[in-house]
Amino acid sequence: MSINSHYPQAEDFRHALNARYRAASIWQALFLSALLIAIISLLALIYNVLDGAFGFVAFDYKNDPAAYTSTPMSELTQKELAAILKDNLSSGAYNKLEKEQPLEKRSQAELYTLFLERLVELDTKNTWSMTESLLHENEIRAEVARKYPTAKLEFRSWLTPQFLVTPMSSKAEFAGVRTAILGSLWLVGIAILFALPIGTGAAIYLQEYAPKNFLTSIIQTNINNLSGVPSIVYGMLGLAVFVRVMEPLTSGSVFGVTDANGRTVLSAGLTMGILVLPLIIINAQEAIKAVPDSLRQAAYGVGATRWQTVWHHVLPNALPGILTGTILSISRALGETAPLIVVGASTFISMDPDSPFSKFTALPIQIYQWTTRAQSEFHAIAAGAIVVLLILLLTLNATAILLRNRFQRRW
Amino acid sequence: MENKYAIEANALSIYYGSFMAVNNVDMLIEAQKITAIIGPSGCGKSTLLRAFNRMNDFVPGCHVTGELLMQGKNLYSKDIDPVEVRRKIGMVFQKPNPFPKSIYENIAWGARINGFKGNMDELVEQSLLGAALWDEVKDKLQDSAYALSGGQQQRLCIARTIAIQPEIILMDEPASALDPISTLRIEELMQELKKNYTIIIVTHNMQQAARVSDYTAMMMLDKEGSRSGTVIEFSETKRIFTNPKDKRTEDYVTGRFG
């Protein structure tokens, strides 16, 4: 008996082969369905957010616009609006607005918002999601006619340019996310400025200098585990250390800032910095590890010191990987909510953060706060804010990826 | 009178932790000659070569006993800085490993970190001429070194080494990753280089050792079952290849080993 006779021949072989192909195609179908599930989940997420950010809104005016002007509201010019506001606002309110920014220098859209907010007092009765609005327009119209006979129905986007540049307001129709966007940018900026140099430094030390012994392996294990610690724990740490113990520093009182406490954007940024530190260290270590040893040897071979080797060769070649860690960290810091609540982000603040010692709010906090409100218009602006958060995230990540690709150019 | 010997190993043993990789080597390496180290895989040739410029310092747990003398000074004594050793004893590696920089920068970097104050353009040209690479790259000095062929990259690595003007150049199988034509060019280059430098080369290629070297050290595991290598015979190349004293050397160089 030859060995070959133990293998299936001719027909048998073809049968076996078909069975192998069948098994392969089953697996292939499974992988494809896994991919489809992932894509559907993502699409559902995007749909869900957009669904809330657009739709019908039924609103009424408490005061009749005709009492202020004979011009139709949609045709009011900037000048007319300024005049109407000047004539009808109480002098105290008018002077306050003038002091913030003279009315004639404000845009038409801004004055129109003031007109709606202060004079005619727009009052939202109900809102509908995009799907409802598109599929059940007639029912909605009938319902509005029945329930709110004087109300007007309008299809609107809650995400407008005005939404981006307007500070917080107690009325959803006039609220914006400017304060929250700026707060988030300050937060991420401080976190990265703090964590990137420290994280990279720690990674260099661990990878290039630290002896391989019991102590370093314990440190290494701890760093790996720290990246999995729930973020609320970092919030508690931030509260204890940055808000309380280091209050003179984080409140800015040692720098002469008065009326401050430790619940500043600096405290929150440092907390986020600590939170993303393990992420940056681990990624930087991986990047440093990936730099081929032959490069280090080449440098040592021409008489370089360890530091010259690290600074001129290891670090530049590890930079793309270090930036990958930074990208992940930005995403994390931008999206974290729990530590901010603990550290004490303000839920209602209309003042832009203008220094590290400012009180602040951030986009996730704002979104969280709005979604917990009962009125449906707040849910709509929460959806708008989520879109803003996602776009901000993509923009920051794209910047970091562009930077990384720039450094990736070999030599 | 200048010392006839560039470097001198006295009872040099090299350990990785408690494992002895190289056992009790005595070698007098003559200046401005080419010394080849041959022997089967895993007998410690590269370990020995790397001990000469303290490259093994980066291997955790690696330490040596015995002496390595250069101009009467033990390179392993406490007051000698390994960076200074590598400044005087350059190294060319098995796989060409240029820096991911321009051809020019590959040479200029080593010079710059060692505090070179002269004319950099001139140094780059001289070094490339010395490595027989100038004519091929003089019009593309700002191109990436990675754009060169393997043989050119290896000659660039040699140029980079001679730019810092060492006294000794260590070569760890410098041609093993190259084709025969590139190998020949490296061998010709070595003959040029030995006018100014002492060269120690590790090679697996016995013809290469026979062709290029003046002296040859034959390394082998010191006894059956042991994993420590040692130099079993060290003398003029001609003698190693024609009239070796040790039977094992004869078997090895005539291809009758094992």
| Predicted confidence (pLDDT) per residue in B53-99, tens digit | 999 988 888 999 999 999 889 999 999 999 999 999 999 999 999 99
pLDDT tens profile A264-282: 899 999 999 999 999 999 9
Domain with CATH 1.10.3720.10 in chain A: 178-407
pLDDT exceeds 70 at position A66? yes
- Is the Cβ pair B60, A308 closer than 8 Å? no
Q: How confident is the model at residue B159 (pLDDT cuts 50, 70, 90)?
A: very high
CATH of A178-407, one of 3.10.105.10, 3.40.50.2300, 1.10.150.120, 1.10.3720.10: 1.10.3720.10
What is the full DSSP assignment across A330-358? HHHHHH--HHHHHHT--SS--SPP-STTS
C-beta atoms of A297 and B93 within 8 A: yes
d(CA B123, CA A145): 90
Q: What pLDDT is attached to residue A120? A: 80
**Residues of B within an 8 Å Cβ radius of A:** 53, 55, 58, 60, 83-84, 86-87, 90-93, 95, 97-102, 105, 109-110, 113-114, 144-146, 157, 160-161, 163-164
Q: What is the dihedral of CA A375, A379, A385, A390, to 10 degrees?
A: 170
How does pLDDT run across A181-208, given as a tens digit for each residue? 999 999 999 999 999 999 999 999 999 9
User: Which ipTM did the prediction report?
Assistant: 0.91
Q: Which of A70-74, A127-131, A368-372 has the lowest mean pLDDT?
A: A70-74
pLDDT band at residue A399 using 50, 70 and 90 as cut-offs: confident
Which band of pLDDT confidence, cut at 50, 70 and 90, is reported for residue B258?
very low
**Rg for chain B (alpha carbons), in Å?**
18
Position A22 pLDDT exceeds 90: yes
Residues of A in contact with B161 (CB under 8 A): 301-302
Q: How far is A398 from chain B (nearest CA, A)?
A: 26
Which residues, in sequence order, are CB contacts of A392 under 8 Å at separation 6+? A181, A184, A185, A334, A363
CB atoms within 10 A of CB B206: 17
Does A312 sit within 8 Å of B109, measured CB to CB?
Answer: yes
Closest CA to B176 of B146, B158, B151: B151
Q: Out of A300, A303, A410, whose CB is closest to B100? A: A410
pLDDT computed for residue A148 by the predictor: 86
Chain B CB contacts of A295 under 8 Å are 97, 99-100
- The pTM of the full predicted model, rounded to 2 decimals, is 0.83
- A410: closest CA of chain B, how far (Å): 6
Closest CA in chain B for residue A409: B100
Q: What is the reported pLDDT for A248?
A: 84
> Per-residue pLDDT for A79 more than 90?
no
Tokens 């240029």 sit on residue: B98
Residue A134 has pLDDT above 60, yes or no: yes
Of A294, A303, A313, the CB nearest to B86: A303
pLDDT at A43 over 90: yes
pLDDT band with cut points at 50, 70 and 90 for residue A174: confident
> Does the pLDDT value for residue A411 go beyond 50?
no
Give the mutation candidate from A297, A302, A310, A410 for the B interface (greatest B CB count, under 10 A).
A302
User: Helix A376-408 and helix A315-335: axis angle, to 10°?
Assistant: 180
Q: What is the pLDDT of residue B36?
A: 95
Which residues of B fall within a CB distance of 8 Å from A305?
Answer: 83, 113
